[in-house]
A = this chain, B = another copy of it.
Amino acid sequence: MERIERHACFGGWQEVYQHTSKTLNCEMKFAIYLPPMAEEQKYPVLYWLSGLTCNEQNFITKSGAQQFAAQHGIILVVPDTSPRGESVADDSAYDLGQGAGFYLNATQTPWNTHYNMYDYIVDELPTLIEAHFPVTHQRAISGHSMGGHGALIIGLRNSERYRSMSAFSPIVAPSQVPWGKKAFNAYLGEDTALWKQYDTIALLNEVKNPLPMRVDVGLDDPFYQEQLKPELFANVCDEKQFTYSLGLHQGYDHSYYFVASFIGEHIAFHAKHLKA
């Protein structure tokens, strides 16, 4: 593991590392923000999953999250969104292949040799972080758009591993919308039983006591109706009488200006559960 960036930021350090991932079978980068902390102190971790076309840079340069992580004493870990490299299968579309891993384990060729983002995020990356950085085993997970989908499915399937989950503008029903159907057909094939393991709505229908969850969506998000469908999330949570928070925000769109405007509230939400 090699550190390739280090910048002082809000009294702490914004760093970027490169390492060889066994799960993804390629070199990967991740970013980590370390708040100001005393020697031998440890902090809980919020994992952030980014959306289509992003890498480990977008969130750390655009969200302003470090300010709030410093205030609350939370370490931020920000992985890339897919395996990377010349030997990794890709597609010319922005919504398939590199930059579009959809946080699943692919079963279909040519994707199944590298596209195991689910296992990377749930197992390999936390193991690496917990071996090398001053972190506790308290974890939370959040993300934006495709990364909001990732945060919710991972939180729903691993409630013993996380304290809370949240999402901005998530793709909650990938099995039912164009982005998700295209990706799942390519990565998972036609076995729609398998699709359900990676679909927030399908998983909410199965689980009993989901983690504390907060979702925010902009009402002027151009993907609201066709790709995001937050009403499906509210409906299943209401049916199953789950506690949740769904914020619908007038004027806000799908950009990082939306994430930046509410990331302070998300980090406060996770801090409450991580430090309870």
Contacts and interface: CB of A to CB of B under 8 A. Distances in A.
Interface of A: 7-11, 13-14, 61-62, 64, 66-67, 218, 220, 249-253, 255-258, 260-261
Contact of A8 (B10, B14, B64, B258): B258
A120 B100 CA distance: 43
A53 to B, nearest CB: 15
A61 B61 contact: yes
Contacts of A256: 61
A9 B62 contact: no
B10 A261 contact: yes
Q: Which of A9, A249, A253 has the most CB of B within 10 A?
A: A9
A257 B67 contact: no
A64 B67 contact: yes
A53 B226 CA distance: 38
A257 B64 contact: no
B260 A10 contact: yes
A264 to B, nearest CB: 8
10 contacts: A7-B252, A8-B220, A8-B249, A8-B250, A8-B261, A9-B257, A10-B261, A61-B256, A62-B62, A66-B260
Nearest to A264: B67
A8 B66 contact: no
Contacts of A9: 257-258, 260-261
B64 A260 contact: yes
**8 smallest A-B Cβ distances: which pairs?**
A8-B251, A64-B64, A7-B257, A9-B257, A8-B252, A10-B261, A7-B255, A61-B62
Contacts of A61: 61-62, 256
A260 B252 CA distance: 22
A138 B249 CA distance: 32
A250 B67 CA distance: 18
Contacts of A251: 8, 13
Contacts of A13: 251
A257 B220 contact: no
Contacts of A66: 257, 260
